[in-house]
Amino acid sequence: MNHQTLQYRTFVSLLIAVSLGLLWVVWPFIGAVFWGAILAIIFVPLHRRMLRSFGHRRNLAALATLLVVLLLVILPAALIAGALVQEGTQVYARIRSGEIDFGAYFQQIYEALPGPAHALLERFGVTDLPTMQQELSALAAQGSQFIAAQALSIGQNTAQFLVSFGVMLYLLFFLFRDGAGLSRRIKDAVPLSEEHKRHLFRKFTTVVRATVKGNVVVAVTQGALGGLIFWIMGIQGALLWSVLMAFLSLLPAVGAGLIWGPVAIYFLATGELVQGLVLIAYGVLVIGLVDNILRPILVGKDTQMPDYLVLITTLGGMTIFGLTGFVVGPLVAALFMAIWDLFATMNESTE
């Protein structure tokens, strides 16, 4: 091994070590860093327009863009989160008091089922109604208790939350101001050809924007439509169910149906045929149509990934990384496809 090779390997080892060290240091704020970078990528086009409007004064343009992000994204999210925590706490209190009894709802559905359905449930061993009622009630209580616990946790960790929030805003300002230069430095440091670097960076930004903007638009639309029909029908906790439908709509194909579907079944089983049929029609033709029309346009078309891959990677990402995973999962899949496509192209060119 010559001296130059040894020097290069030593330098690469040092580079990896200090990079891992930096990751270890910033790990407590990795969520703030991640979402700061994501918001910067999404709002870069707006910042460029701000930059032209303010005569290329970078500090002023970055501050103006940051204020827009606060007004359009962060403030509405904070208001919805506050209302959700309040309503979730009220639902938990109703479950504890017995005003809401999911076990009784299950009993009503079971009694309304026809004979063949009873036989089918007996075949699968689902006949111990008292146990099923207890388990459903316990599950509902645990879910609502989790929301209440999260509200208490946020209150107890207010200082940590505010620090992370401040880190995100601080980083976002500098990413707006210096992001173009930082992006060029990163591109220059990547040891690939210019064509390959352009392809990978374009794929990265496209997937981030399509995944976040597309999924958020679909989630907000489906959640709002679902909450509206629940409110019209007088279903308790309409805001809570609306947010849950919005959250579940991050999963393609199934999504919001996991909430409105059981409610429609309950209406049908308890003799509320009109309400049940209306909810099914509304869920399929209105809420479902949003997923079938908007998601392919906003997500699948730009990412150029099949729906099944988006679903699997979204589920896997959210299992590992929590809510952040709905971006990380499809992003990893898109980069995987892009790199293998480059690899295949390079092999074809060498043959």
Structure tokens at 332: 């990893």
Does residue 46 contact residue 65 with C-beta atoms inside 8 Å? yes
* Strand spans (E) along 209-317: none
pLDDT at 130: 57
Share above pLDDT 90 across residues of the chain, in percent, rounded to a whole number: 3
Q: Which of 54-68, 121-135, 164-178, 211-225 shows the lowest per-residue confidence on average (mean pLDDT)? A: 121-135
Does residue 218 contact residue 249 with C-beta atoms inside 8 Å? yes
Does residue 288 contact residue 258 with C-beta atoms inside 8 Å? no
Helices and strands, number each (H, E), in the chain: 17, 0
Task: Compute the distance between CA of residue 207 and CA of residue 304 in angstroms, rounded to an integer.
Answer: 9
Distances (CA, A) of 90 to 87, 143, 152, 293: 5, 13, 14, 35
Model confidence at 281: pLDDT above 70: yes
| 202 class by beta-carbon count within 10 Å (0-12 exposed, 13-18 middle, 19+ buried) | exposed
Name the DSSP class of 59.
H
Task: Compute the distance between CA of residue 189 and CA of residue 109 in angstroms, rounded to an integer.
Answer: 62
DSSP assignment of 286-336:
IIHHHHHHHHIIIIIHHHT--HHHHHHHHHHHHHHHGGGHHHHHHHHHHHH
pLDDT at 64: 92
Q: How confident is the model at residue 67 (pLDDT cuts 50, 70, 90)?
A: very high
pLDDT tens per residue, range 162-219:
788 888 899 999 998 888 888 788 777 777 777 777 777 777 777 777 777 777 788 8
Q: How far is CA 340 from the centre of its chain?
A: 26
SS (H, E, C) 95-111: HHHCCCCHHHHHHHHHH
Task: Compute the distance between CA of residue 66 and CA of residue 33 in angstroms, rounded to an integer.
Answer: 15
Does residue 249 contact residue 311 with C-beta atoms inside 8 Å? no
pLDDT at 63: 92
Does residue 107 contact residue 133 with C-beta atoms inside 8 Å? yes
Task: Compute the distance between CA of residue 269 and CA of residue 113 in angstroms, rounded to an integer.
Answer: 7
Rg of the chain's alpha carbons, rounded to an integer?
25
Model confidence at 243: pLDDT above 60: yes
Residue whose C-alpha is closest to residue 211's, from 341, 313, 340: 313
Task: Compute the distance between CA of residue 43 and CA of residue 69 in angstroms, rounded to an integer.
Answer: 8
pLDDT tens per residue, range 1-51:
566 677 778 888 888 888 888 889 888 888 888 888 888 888 888 898 998
Question: Residue 336: what residue type?
Answer: F
Between 205 and 278, the higher pLDDT residue: 278
Model confidence at 97: pLDDT above 70: no
Query: In the chain, where are the structural domains located?
Result: 27-180, 196-344
pLDDT tens per residue, range 112-124:
666 666 566 666 5
Share above pLDDT 70 across residues of the chain, in percent, rounded to a whole number: 71
pLDDT at 95: 64
Residue range 300-310: mean pLDDT, rounded = 66
Q: Tokens 């209406």, residue?
A: 267
- What is the separation, in whole angstroms, between the first and last Cα of the chain? 31
pLDDT at 145: 56
Q: How confident is the model at residue 338 (pLDDT cuts 50, 70, 90)?
A: confident
Enclosing H/E stretch for 341: helix 325-350
Does residue 296 contact residue 316 with C-beta atoms inside 8 Å? no
Structure tokens at 140: 């509902």
250 three-class SS: coil
Structure tokens at 48: 């460029």
